[in-house]
Structure 1
């Protein structure tokens, strides 16, 4: 969009659809790549998931609500598990998949992860506690974080967590003290800032030098951390190196550079210390389709591409070495790519308003009973979403629409641009796909609006796995002078 000195609403093309959004031939069509695997429409136009109509879900559980397709979640988790095991078996004896709990985590999801044989990546005491309550084997749980507290480190070691990803030199010193106090050896990896800028939003690119995560490769901090860990074998066991280059990534080119630099450091450590680290974590960040413009890689394509990269790098080095390097066991950390497409958010329409922008353009605003408190990503990242009329069939023509929330903020936008039927009205249900990752995790109580429930659906049965917050829940945190808290 071209800028205009009088403001954005006067710019050429304001009010027009973005280039990536095609005018639909059928405004009721569902694009399969945007939705969970069991989502379809029945003859009346009702959206259904797991054999249950969303109209029934709205009646039983209310709106707004997050709706999670359990079968889809498990299938995506299994697809990553199987694809990476198959691709890496001839390279490194297999691979491990750690679900990134920050995307979305609750006790029931932790149970699903354990059932499907995945590990779990956590980054707080709360996430570790949920993992434990969900029956996760601590040996298959990792702890991330750039500012882990002593309480979190102690809890992780007392529980017997499988790996702690070191993020600073200071953390090493504190972990040594705690491990010695407890009489245990902490299994650790070093998060390396490899200097790769993923082609993604500035706030979710995490491997360039000027940001808070990791230890710099170019600046020597990563090597310094490795030396410090190896100097304390009674307290720390060095498992390997870790890198995460960002999120919502659609190609493997960034991983290629990252893997090469990590393997260079792996080789240097082997040569200088005679230590072959047994693991190598290439992080996560794999993209999903939020709109028709996105074309994510399948787990099989990701796995085969990354296995080829790692295998080629070690083969090239071993061709000139008298003593070959063993290829470390690779692990990855998908979160969004598993839970993102498995969930959608169900809203009820409150108001429909046509706003005159200027004499040439107007915009239709559809307000729903949620908003930035249950999906902050549009306001925070400028993220694009799609949506559809979910509660009936419509023969009305498409109208370019903006879906907004109920909060006291002009940036309270859920879907920036989408074609919806022109007869959309109060009481209709609309569904926004791809909301499994970071929507419930980053949800707030802005304007004291209680957070929605999470409804899991499978084989014709729907159940609450995270209940709807109530106003009483919000008030329970208030402490009034003179009242017993």
Structure 2
């Protein structure tokens, strides 16, 4: 992997014809350091957010040694790359083969469930092992989440109490978990969820060894800066102190976006420019999935292929590379005027659910990775970051 001072140097020296992930290892180190030293819970990195090995290696080097895994492939990836890593199989619905192999071949001892059926599936495939940590996922409000995740997973109050009582019979350690939604913008969401979960624990009349407050911790995007992470940490810590759990109960969390969003940006090339529109080599089937489907406001800057200066702003329709006519940004985008073929755009803070969502539709999807060391984007972890253009925003000059 080559290293450059900035993406400008990549353009000048390489003129890449495929999208390039610009990896900033210092951003990973800063995020990992904050979660390890300033957040009151043990972090389990949510591998689904970004399974890139360079990102995983940077997290491991920064002291993140516990992982939230959702499939056998993720388990195998972590097992082979990081001997001794702690893994929690936190997908609420798992096939039997994956459970058996996770336990017997890969040494996983932590499993989640939100149904009686899944609990007994875990017990059967592990041979009713006595060294299991069983986490019961409970459904909670997703008020304040940019991307709510309610409906698919999470036991309701009555179901959760029954599952907790049954799991307590078999589990070496018993835990509860919940998820307040993705890019959760209200720290109070954790206070509400933890109070609700505590009430369920009381109604179940069980002792709980672990409280897993899930993920949802935000990153910083161009249109909606979140509260400080310190506000989330304080809310979780205070709410945990008020929960009805053992005095020595462990507190866990599953950060994904907050750990790796700042780790990567995406450098794309303009392949065609028309009056009022541009065609780029990534889009809704690639790493810009969230920009298109969720209207996510990634910061973006232009880098001209020939070094010329751009002046003024203009509205563009932005199309992706595939033959699907819906492969385009849903809203017009304000970008520097005068963009043309051979110019580049850099989309920032795309390290979470960028590469993880990309496909090879139409034969596209080839990418490269390069290390860069600049800090152009706003950061949750320090004061660095220049003013950038928000997708869909006319305000930035």
Which of the five TM-score ranges fits, normalised by the shorter chain?
Answer: 0.7 to 0.9
For 1:236-247, list aligned pairs within 5 A.
Answer: 236-247=171-182
From the CA coordinates, give the structure whose radius of gyration is larger.
Answer: 1
TM superposition shift of 1:305 = 2.5
Query: For each residue in 1:154-204, what CA deviation from the matched residue of structure 2 results, as whole angstroms up to 9, or x when unmatched?
Result: 1221222241111322111111112227x553211111113x133335xx4
Do the aligned residues in 1 keep the contact of 2:115 with 2:155 (CA within 8 Å)?
yes
TM superposition shift of 1:297 = 2.9
Question: How many Å separate the matches in 2 of 1:331 and 1:50?
Answer: 37
For 1:461-476, list aligned pairs within 5 A.
Answer: none
Question: How many Å separate the matches in 1 of 2:32 and 2:4?
Answer: 17
Question: How many Å separate the matches in 1 of 2:83 and 2:17?
Answer: 31
For 1:89-168, list aligned pairs within 5 A.
Answer: 95-118=41-64, 119-135=66-82, 137-138=84-85, 140-158=86-104, 159-168=106-115
Question: How many Å separate the matches in 2 of 1:328 and 1:146?
Answer: 22
Do the aligned residues in 2 keep the contact of 1:352 with 1:365 (CA within 8 Å)?
yes
Question: How many Å separate the matches in 2 of 1:436 and 1:213?
Answer: 25
Task: Give the equivalent residue in structure 2 for 1:340.
Answer: 261
Unaligned runs of 5+ in 1: 1-48, 89-94, 318-323, 355-363, 460-485
Task: Give the equivalent residue in structure 1 for 2:290.
Answer: 377
Question: How many Å separate the matches in 1 of 2:360 and 2:261?
Answer: 22
1:189 to 135, 142, 149: 135
Do the aligned residues in 1 keep the contact of 2:221 with 2:298 (CA within 8 Å)?
yes
Question: How many Å separate the matches in 1 of 2:231 and 2:188?
Answer: 13
TM-score with structure 1 setting the length: 0.70
1:67 to 3, 22, 27: 22
Q: Which SS does the other structure have where 2:55 is aligned?
A: helix
Cα 1:409–1:56, aligned 2, differ >3 Å: closer, same or farther?
Answer: same
Task: Give the equivalent residue in structure 1 for 2:317.
Answer: 402
TM superposition shift of 1:61 = 5.6
Question: How many Å separate the matches in 1 of 2:291 and 2:323?
Answer: 15
Query: What RMSD, in angstroms, separates the aligned Cα atoms of the two structures?
Result: 2.4
Cα 1:73–1:50, aligned 2, differ >3 Å: closer, same or farther?
Answer: farther
Unaligned runs of 5+ in 2: 375-397
Task: Give the equivalent residue in structure 2 for 1:301.
Answer: 231
Task: Give the equivalent residue in structure 2 for 1:205.
Answer: 148
Cα 1:396–1:404, aligned 2, differ >3 Å: closer, same or farther?
Answer: same
TM-score with structure 2 setting the length: 0.84
Query: For each residue in 1:424-464, what CA deviation from the matched residue of structure 2 results, as whole angstroms up to 9, or x when unmatched?
Result: 111111101121111211111111213323334459xxxxx
Q: Which SS does the other structure have where 2:283 is aligned?
A: coil
Query: For each residue in 1:309-355, what CA deviation from the matched residue of structure 2 results, as whole angstroms up to 9, or x when unmatched?
Result: 322x24xx7xxxxxx9516221111111121122111011111122x
Task: Give the equivalent residue in structure 1 for 2:379.
Answer: none
Do the aligned residues in 1 keep the contact of 2:167 with 2:174 (CA within 8 Å)?
no
Task: Give the equivalent residue in structure 2 for 1:257.
Answer: 192
Cα 1:411–1:333, aligned 2, differ >3 Å: closer, same or farther?
Answer: same
Cα 1:368–1:212, aligned 2, differ >3 Å: closer, same or farther?
Answer: same
Aligned length: 366
TM superposition shift of 1:258 = 0.2
Query: For each residue in 1:103-132, what CA deviation from the matched residue of structure 2 results, as whole angstroms up to 9, or x when unmatched?
Result: 101333333332222221110011111111
Question: How many Å separate the matches in 1 of 2:84 and 2:326?
Answer: 42
Question: How many Å separate the matches in 1 of 2:143 and 2:356?
Answer: 23
1:331 to 223, 247, 252: 252
Question: How many Å separate the matches in 1 of 2:332 and 2:194?
Answer: 37
TM superposition shift of 1:421 = 2.0
Query: For each residue in 1:341-399, what CA deviation from the matched residue of structure 2 results, as whole angstroms up to 9, or x when unmatched?
Result: 22111011111122xxxxxxxxx212111212212223322323331112435242111
Query: For each residue in 1:388-423, what CA deviation from the matched residue of structure 2 results, as whole angstroms up to 9, or x when unmatched?
Result: 112435242111223321222333235844432212
